[in-house]
Amino acid sequence: MMKRIVSLVALVCGVVFAGSLDNAWIKGVTDKSPLSYRPGEEMTFTLTAMGVEGSVPEGEYFLDWKRTDDFGGKENGRIPLSAMPFTYKAKIDKPGFVRLEAYVVDKAGTRYRKVYTGDTTTPEGRRAMNEFERRKRFVFFDGGAGVCPEQLATHPEPADFDAFWAKQYKRLDLVPIKADRIEIKSPNANCRFFAVRVDCAGLRPVTGYLSVPKDVYAGKTYPCRLSTHGYNGDACRHVKSAYLRSGEIEFNINAHGLKLEEFGATDADTKALRWETRSHGYSYAFDPKQNADPEVAYFNGMVLRVKRALQFLKTVEGWNGKDLIASGGSQGGLQTIWAAGCGEGVTKAESGITWCCDMFMNGTRLKREISSDGWYIPWTDAMGYYDAANFARRIPSTCRTEITRAGLGDYCCPPMGLAKLWNNIPGNKKITWVQGSQHGYVPPSYEGRDLVIECQ
């Protein structure tokens, strides 16, 4: 059972002026560590409006709140926005997570949207405005708390998981590691920069951009890093990074093996790839008919390209022969876990807001209806071969695995799935849980926002 307690004291009165909420945000904390609750234990959330300029106008703004959990629990309400905190109490009786969302709305129920009030007559002001426009402009909290997350277990993996991947990797073994490079202008004077195409099993090659510190050619060696991309729908583009690492060899790959402009790609090629990646009206990787067969699922080629990219990196002149890093966020975080678990000797994996963890739970109808942000791939049994939580079991203990951000309000990559991913990673790991963090949003820093867990 859930119980709601609202701290409603007299609203602060005073002179009201426009823009009083344009720098506001909602700070959320729990009465103890948000991952330390036990079954049936009451968890207390306290939400406080921060950054309000002047006083809160009486009767003008409200806090719309909604509580859900991993098992179908729901509750919602609306209270006047006050200078005093909103306190909410809930409990669940088994391992899982509670989610609490709260948005500032007006009398009509429309979410308040911040407006930039800075000076735009200067270059600095225009840059600040552009940065402002890229941020979440609602005034809200989206976070949660968990009960015994260390006890959460994934849906049983396919019995032939290892045999399946041994068969797929044999396909890759039949294709020699042959790469074509075209040197291009480097944004870093200390690095050489190349457009690269590497032969691979499957429909398309590995493509991306390679940066190599110049002193490699004088005999110096460096760690190698594979960088991967988030989901970009049918954009089918690869924007070259303006930042190159001077202390690493880095191969930045796209998810599709798309043809690069340096290799003659035209607009027609991009349009054709957009159609090729779609299936039965779905954007890539979401089609349940395609995903019914693990050998033709869109993710199959992506895994093989990740493994081939690592194999190529180990052939690049200047690798120090020991440090092999993989990194990425969201879909790139999923690819990072694939990289760490695919047997190529990755020594460090940096996976943020990792997508597709515990796909069985996230792909159920209940989960999608209760707390989905719309990015759950419908479940088929074949998806078990690609689940990040299943690959996590194959990460060797010699690899340092870091989940760089796990948002307690991220329901594109839900906390339950990330907890299961964490539980399946062997020792030598670290995770940073962030209270109030959605997939693309992190609230301002405050005490208690971040919870770091580390195992050696």
User: What CATH number is associated with residue 132?
Assistant: 2.60.40.1930
Asked if 175 and 143 sit in the same domain, the reply is: no
Q: What is the pLDDT at residue 82?
A: 86
Asked if 278 and 409 sit in the same domain, the reply is: yes
Residue that is last in its domain, among 117, 151, 185: 151
- In 3D, which of 216, 178, 205, 210 has the Cα closest to residue 195? 210
The band of 363, judged by pLDDT with boundaries at 50, 70 and 90, is: low
- Residues 236 and 256 sit within 8 Å (Cβ to Cβ): yes
Q: Which residues contact 414 (CB under 8 A, 6 or more apart)?
A: 70, 97, 357, 362, 367, 371
Asked if 235 and 338 sit in the same domain, the reply is: yes
Residue that is last in its domain, among 151, 181, 199: 151
Asked if 351 and 269 sit in the same domain, the reply is: yes
The band of 100, judged by pLDDT with boundaries at 50, 70 and 90, is: very high
Asked if 25 and 172 sit in the same domain, the reply is: no
Q: Where are the alpha helices (DSSP H) in 283-414?
A: 298-313, 331-341, 359-362, 365-371, 388-392
Q: What is the pLDDT at residue 15?
A: 30
* CA 289/CA 280 separation, integer angstroms: 8
Asked if 145 and 166 sit in the same domain, the reply is: no
Q: What is the mean pLDDT of residues 273-293?
A: 95
- Quote the tokens at residue 443: 């609230």
What CATH number does residue 345 fall under?
3.40.50.1820
Cα 402–Cα 248–Cα 430 angle in degrees, nearest 5: 10
Residue length of the chain: 456
Asked if 36 and 169 sit in the same domain, the reply is: no
Inside any domain, residue 191: yes
Inside any domain, residue 37: yes
Asked if 347 and 299 sit in the same domain, the reply is: yes
Share of the chain above pLDDT 70, in %: 92
- In 3D, which of 174, 139, 117 has the Cα closest to residue 28? 139
Residue that is last in its domain, among 151, 182, 215: 151
Inside any domain, residue 156: no
Asked if 114 and 174 sit in the same domain, the reply is: no
Cα-trace Rg, the chain: 24
The band of 54, judged by pLDDT with boundaries at 50, 70 and 90, is: confident
Model confidence over 11-35: pLDDT tens digits? 233 233 346 898 899 999 999 999 9
Inside any domain, residue 116: yes
Asked if 132 and 252 sit in the same domain, the reply is: no
Mean pLDDT, the chain, rounded, equals 91
The band of 1, judged by pLDDT with boundaries at 50, 70 and 90, is: very low
Inside any domain, residue 404: yes
Asked if 11 and 113 sit in the same domain, the reply is: yes
The domain containing residue 55 runs over which residues? 3-151
Inside any domain, residue 328: yes
- Residues 81 and 56 sit within 8 Å (Cβ to Cβ): yes
Asked if 329 and 367 sit in the same domain, the reply is: yes
Structural domains of the chain, count: 2
Inside any domain, residue 352: yes
Inside any domain, residue 170: yes
